[in-house]
A = this chain, B = another copy of it.
């Protein structure tokens, strides 16, 4: 078992009608002027922004707004948000949305608190020494960014997708009302569920002598998301299923499922990040498309872990070698993805990858040959190319 740190200071306020507490939660932070940051007009049309505005008004909190965040959130809007916050003397950024909006809010927070070019942090040229306080009203259960330390931003100049993590950006509070997620389309719900599962699976596939406490939580979390994702495909307005998935999303990425491990593999995430940067695919769907290819490429390096996953998570009856049992687990997971209408190849997303595109993805994912990814097996540029190729379909 590895030494570890666990730090998840976000105050979670979970359940029906909790968005009406937003103003009071901002006031508790001692803040007075908020940037309400959001994505598309859906939060306007649903009346959510209006309710939040009312809650802020009642608590005597002033605010300005900045919408327009897109999936794979853009650096240009981050720059705009930083200028707006400075001009308006904003002291808390309220992200009303899912992972993209929260990640964009974190980037704005870094920019305001540290000065200089915020992209430096994502390029690992500097370390942040603070972040404007972040609050969240969550509208999509997926990224877990509401409790995580991470933020992923896409720089349109070269379409580079890069992440930066620090405890400074952990949200002060997160309002989670499952009712808000009831109207999400099936594809977004399914893609979110894959993303949630993957945050735990990335940690689960590691090279550590693991902690039972953590393994059991992880295995239960993945099973719970799978079960409730299937319910939501049939019954998208099932409150309890929405709530299970929403809470699992936060627990899956707040660090809990990595305690006592080396941190996990994360290669599937890195491989998807480049796909997302190039094609603007939904993050969860993109991971589903590459995961099987990754898993088959690395399984022999830790077959016993894949076998444990197959038995404890996928319900496979162990038979033959760990390799054989593990392979059955991979197949079962792909079957589950299909049941959710998720892709199991890049072609399934309607993308016909050309040879030079696969080379370009591998170039970018390896930071032009300067890094390897993964821990189950360390993957270099050539490995990445092969995994993309096997995932092409």
**Contact status of A213 and B247, CB under 8 A, knowing A9-B9, A259-B14:** yes
Contact A13 B18 (CB under 8 A): no
CB of A8 within 8 Å of the partner chain = yes
In Å, the complex CA distance between A155 and B247 comes to 40
Can you list, as one digit per residue, whether each of A4-27 has a CB less than 8 Å from chain B (1) or not (0)?
111111111111111000000000
Q: Which stretch from A45-53, A214-222, A280-288 is at the chain B interface?
A: A214-222
Determine how close the nearest CB of chain B comes to the CB of A312; give it in whole angstroms.
11
Q: Which of B10, B12, B244 contacts A211 (CB 8 A)?
A: B244
Q: How far is the CB of A147 from chain B (nearest CB, A)?
A: 9
Considering the chains assembled together, what is the distance between the CA atoms of A330 and B17 in angstroms?
39
Asked if A260 is at the interface of the complex by the 8 Å CB criterion, the answer is: yes
| Chain B CB within 8 A of A3 CB | yes
Which residues in chain A, 236-259, are within 8 Å of chain B measured between CB atoms?
239-240, 243-244, 247-248, 251, 259
How far apart sit A239 and B211, CA to CA, in the bound complex (Å)? 11
Per-residue interface assignment for chain A, residues 105 to 130, with 1 indicating a CB less than 8 Å from any chain B CB and 0 otherwise = 00000000000000000000000000
Q: Give chain B residues whose Cβ lies under 8 Å from the Cβ of A4.
A: 12, 14-15
Q: Which residues of B contact A211 (CB under 8 A)?
A: 240, 243-244, 247
Output the nearest chain B residue to A178 by Cβ-Cβ distance: B1
Asked if A2 is at the interface (CB within 8 A of a chain B CB), the reply is: yes
Which of B5, B14, B217 makes the CB contact (< 8 A) with A14? Answer: B5
- Given A1-B15, A216-B223, A243-B260, 20 new contacts (CB under 8 A): A1-B240, A1-B243, A2-B15, A3-B16, A3-B17, A4-B15, A7-B10, A7-B11, A7-B12, A9-B9, A9-B11, A209-B240, A211-B240, A211-B243, A211-B244, A213-B244, A213-B247, A216-B220, A216-B221, A217-B217
